[in-house]
């Protein structure tokens, strides 16, 4: 199969492309750095020529909920129209576990709009809602760090390795459209503040962490809101395994905001 990965050079996208190629598929990475812009449509029709499935892992940062809805809405509308024109048979969207339970996060508002348009769009769809990636704690520290202090929300999450997400998305993209949502998480719950401490220890950094709901996640995210339900698919790679390896921090300008 020929599968296009929108956002194919980012954190999740690279793993999708690698998983597709390992399984013998023809993977096409779509990104602005490769001359294709989903926002303007430049190069999009050419990139989708002969494509059977599209995996959308595009990340669009926005300062407000309205901006997020507008940016994700415009990009998704353009992408689905181009897919319809190219006769693409399956649209696979990477979304966020617990997306339907949180209202106050601007990025989540944009992703909800993206889901709505994808479900109602002209191309058969499967949505994969994945838990936060293992790199998320380190990214939060880098986003909120001011001098030697960083604010980290005391979230309870069940993080997943980006490589596991890539493998599942590749599998879904080469299968039949489901027309519904698949929940995906890692093997065990973790406290985000503790994850941040262990990430910093692996990086050899000394930063004081302040647990607080004053950032992008409010108190509505407390408790088990972001944990998977009983029907979720669970991957195998644990956060402990990656923390012991001392993995370097992901460049937040290229990583998915999860």
Which residue ranges form the domains of the chain, and what is each CATH number? 2-245 (3.40.50.720)
Taking each helix axis from N to C terminus, what angle separates 106-120 and 65-85, rounded to the nearest 10 degrees? 30
Helices and strands per DSSP (H, E), number in the chain: 8, 11
> What is the model's pLDDT at position 162?
96
Residue 257 clears pLDDT 90, i.e. is over it: no
Region of 174 (left: φ > 0; alpha: ψ -120 to 50; beta: rest) is alpha
Max distance between CA atoms of the chain, in angstroms, equals 53
Contacts of residue 73, defined as CB under 8 A and 6 or more positions apart, other chains included, come to 110, 113, 114, 117
Distances from the Cα of 185 to the Cα of 26, 52, 234, angstroms: 27, 27, 5
Considering only CA atoms, which of 172, 168, 176 is closest in space to residue 237?
A: 168
Q: What percent of the chain has pLDDT over 90?
A: 88
Q: Take residue 34 and report the two structure tokens written for it.
A: 């490769």
Query: pLDDT for 118-161, tens place per residue?
Result: 999 999 999 999 999 999 999 999 999 999 999 999 999 999 99
Q: For residue 174, report the phi and psi dihedrals to the nearest 5 degrees.
A: -95, 5
192: tokens are 């985000």
Quote the pTM value. Answer: 0.91
pLDDT band at 249 (very low <50, low <70, confident <90, very high): very low
Distance between CA atoms of residues 172 and 157, nearest Å = 24
Question: Looking up tokens 């490589």, which residue turns up?
Answer: 163
d(CA 254, CA 144): 17
The backbone torsions φ and ψ at residue 97, rounded to the nearest 5 degrees and listed phi first, read -60, 135
Which pLDDT tens digit goes with each residue over 50-98? 999 999 999 998 999 999 999 999 999 999 999 999 999 999 999 999 9
| pLDDT confidence of residue 216 | 78
Task: List residues bridging with 204 in a β-sheet.
Answer: none
User: Do residues 93 and 219 make contact, with C-beta atoms less than 8 angstroms apart?
Assistant: no
């Amino acid at each position: 199969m020929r599968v296009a990965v929108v956002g194919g050079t980012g954190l999740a996208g690279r793993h999708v492309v690698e998983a597709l190629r390992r399984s013998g598929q023809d993977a096409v990475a779509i990104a602005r750095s490769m001359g294709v812009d989903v926002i303007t449509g430049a190069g999009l029709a050419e990139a989708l020529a002969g494509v059977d499935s599209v995996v959308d892992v595009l990340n669009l940062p926005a300062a407000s909920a309205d901006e997020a809805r507008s940016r994700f809405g415009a990009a998704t509308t353009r992408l689905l129209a181009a897919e319809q024109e190219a006769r693409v048979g399956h649209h696979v969207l990477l979304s966020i576990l617990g997306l339907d339970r949180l209202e106050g996060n601007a990025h989540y508002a944009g992703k909800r709009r993206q889901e709505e348009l994808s479900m109602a769009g002209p191309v058969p769809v499967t949505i994969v809602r994945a838990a936060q990636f293992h790199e998320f704690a380190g990214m939060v520290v880098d986003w909120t760090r001011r001098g030697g202090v960083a604010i980290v929300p005391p979230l309870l999450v069940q993080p997943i390795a980006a490589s596991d997400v890539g493998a599942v998305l590749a599998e879904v993209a080469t299968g039949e459209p489901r027309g519904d949502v698949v929940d995906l998480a890692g093997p065990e719950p973790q406290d985000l503040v503790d994850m941040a401490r262990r990430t910093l220890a692996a990086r050899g950094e000394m930063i004081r962490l302040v647990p607080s709901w004053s950032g992008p996640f409010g108190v509505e995210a407390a408790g088990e809101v972001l944990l998977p339900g009983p029907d979720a698919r669970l991957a195998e790679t644990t956060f402990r395994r990656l923390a012991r390896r001392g993995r370097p921090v992901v460049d937040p300008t290229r990583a998915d905001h999860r």
